[in-house]
Amino acid sequence: MNALEVNGRTLAYLGDATWSLAVRKRLIQERAGIGRRLQKETIRFVSARAQAFIYEALHQAGWFSEAEEEVFRRGRNDHAGTVPKHTPQHIYRVSTGFEAILGMLELGQDAARIEALVEQAWNVIKENV
């Protein structure tokens, strides 16, 4: 399946699962704890605010390719039915764009790029949050 044939919300849906799994694997590898501690650490990376923060930091550093930026815009601009109550709309939209990038990478089976993104995100969060 080609990512160009999939709409932004669908890519974000897949990217959400991809990101959550990648973060959880990394936390287990780093022996970040058990139970509640793992859940708390997971939220540091998978919340809409965290995803938006990660995207903005990596975007400013010029880390994303032009194709990834295009998919980000598609995901960000695709209208969701509802926005979570405690998340500003612009944060939610940026996080959706970030998830769309991950969905594209997952569809393309680009595990190396996903791992590189996880590594970069890990550094961003550990240094700033």
Which pair of tokens denotes residue 123?
């550094």
Spatial separation of the C-alpha atoms in residues 104 and 71, rounded to whole Å: 7
In degrees rounded to 5, what are phi and psi of residue 44?
A: -55, -25
Question: Is 16 an active-site residue?
Answer: yes
Dihedral (Cα; 100, 104, 109, 111), 10-degree rounding: -50
- Catalytic one among 16, 41, 68, 99? 16
Spatial separation of the C-alpha atoms in residues 107 and 66, rounded to whole Å: 17
Spatial separation of the C-alpha atoms in residues 102 and 90, rounded to whole Å: 19
24, exposed or middle or buried, with CB in 10 Å at 0-12, 13-18, 19+? middle
Q: Tell me the catalytic residues.
A: 16
